[in-house]
Amino acid sequence: MNIRKILDTVKKPFGKGEKFEKYAPAVNAFDTFLFVPNHTTKHGAHIRDAVDLKRTMITVIVALLPALLYGIYNTGFQYYSQLGSAFTTLDAIIHGSLKIVPMIAVSYIVGLAIEFAFAIFRGHEVNEGYLVTGLLIPMIMPVDIPLWMVGLSVAFAVLIGKEAFGGTGMNILNPALTARAFAFFAYPTYMSGNKVWVSEASNVDGVSGETILGMLASGESTIPYDVSQMFYGAIPGSIAETSTLMVLIGAFILIFTGVGSWRIMLGSVIGAAVTGLLFNLWGANELMNFSWFNHLIVGGFAFGVVFMATDPVSAAQTTKGKWIYGVLVGLFCILIRVFNPAYPEGVMLAILLMNVFAPTIDHYVIESNIKKRLNRKLNSNLNVA
């Protein structure tokens, strides 16, 4: 194994007791990317499952790819079709790639640099979680957001959203949504309104960058898109959120492999559907009249529920808690959409809100288990007496 030999030589100065030992986590991150290390079990079970965090995270990335690829295509498609000029699929993909690939690059470079720095500083190995976060962040941004804002949002999310709480596994809020929320409140003109959701909408007059939910919120009752367009995703929106079909493919991958929680996904869909249905019956404004089913397939609902709400660290952790958490994410998403004209899309805030409440939900689920145990003790004392 020649590559192995080269790697071992490269790693030598970073070994135990050597000059650059401090920087070992950075080198190890690359090494373990190439090779599953030769570590053997020292304590406990002598055999181990094939799964590790790298494999879990790469599965999520694979699940994200359909939505990302469609998002790249849709970015170009929306631009050219609104412009009214003739274009090929390749044109659309090239236009989208030129916009989105730099965003992904910035997100990974800034985020991984901070992750590596903290790993070296704290002396632990680099955790793989950022591989997913770093891809998610550009996918949920408007396409025309300046690259420096992407970088700044990433830095905020990783530093304040994650490392300040103690690093991977300790954060309260989903880091990718923290990045989006940061950009949303810091640079609202780039993150909301009717000029940001299609490529070049703010520069080119012929292009209107308004989302369906935005139109509804401003009181328009006729939507220029039909249900199939909403489902397949040929609509304006954040880069990768538009296609419910592609998100469903991702959801299938996550549920089939067992990596994503189907309970949270199903819970959210039930929560949103029921809430949407109730508002349909009420019907006081355009968003309430918007069919409950359409609520599920427009905006970021599907994407948020499948890829963000299921983040195991920031979601509820108990089985029962996951159901409650999921239903409430769906409920609050529709509630925010319907009642708050300033935020026509509610899924980001709904998930962040439930991230904050997830530990409380778990607390009550666990308390009931504790009560059950104490009652069992009381009953057994009664039986003896």
Partner 1 sequence: MSNDIQIKNGLTINLKGAPENIVKKASFPKSVSINPLNFHLITPKMVVKVGDKVKMGDVVFYSKKNPEIKFCSPVSGTINDIVRGAKRKILEILIDSDDNQNIKKHKISKTDSCSRNSIIELLLDSGCWPFIKQRPYDIIANPNDTPKSIFISAVSSAPIAADIEIILNDQKEEFKAGLNVLNKLTDGDLNVCIEKNHNSFIQEIDNISIHNVSGLHPAGNVGVQIHHIDPVNIGEKVWILGAEDVAIIGKLFLTGIYEPTRTIAVSGPPVKYPQYYKTIVGSKLSNIISDAGISSKDNLRFINGDVLTGYSVDKDSYLGFYNNTLSVLREGNHFRMFGWIPFVNNKVPSIYKTSFSWLFPNKKYDLDTNLNGEERAFVVTGEMENVFPMDIFPMQLLKECMSGNIEKMENLGIYEVAPEDFALIDYSSSSKIEAQKIIREGLDLMVLEVG
Residue ranges in contact with partner 1 by CB under 8 A: 1, 3-4, 32, 34-56, 58-59, 62, 125, 127-129, 167-170, 256-259, 261, 312-313, 315, 317-319, 322, 362, 366, 369-370, 372-374, 376-377, 380
Nearer to partner 1, 16 or 46 (CB): 46
Closest separation between CB of residue 184 and partner 1, Å? 26
Placement of tokens 């359909």 in the chain: 66
Closest separation between CB of residue 8 and partner 1, Å? 10
The whole-angstrom separation of Cα 94 and Cα 99 is 9
Closest separation between CB of residue 157 and partner 1, Å? 17
Nearer to partner 1, 218 or 369 (CB): 369
Q: 245-266: string of b/e by CB count within 10 Å (b at 16+)? A: bbbbbbbebbbeeebbbebbbb
The whole-angstrom separation of Cα 199 and Cα 62 is 25
Nearer to partner 1, 3 or 342 (CB): 3
Nearer to partner 1, 168 or 199 (CB): 168
Give bridge partners of residue 14 from the DSSP assignment: none
Question: Mind giving me the DSSP string for 267-331?
Answer: HHHHHHHHHHHHHHHH--SHHHHS-HHHHHHSTTHHHIIIIITT-TTTS--SHHHHHHHHHHHHH
Closest separation between CB of residue 355 and partner 1, Å? 14
Residue 111 Cα distances to 34, 59, 72, 116, 184, angstroms = 21, 20, 22, 9, 19
Nearer to partner 1, 45 or 342 (CB): 45
Closest separation between CB of residue 258 and partner 1, Å? 5
Closest separation between CB of residue 339 and partner 1, Å? 32
Nearer to partner 1, 50 or 342 (CB): 50
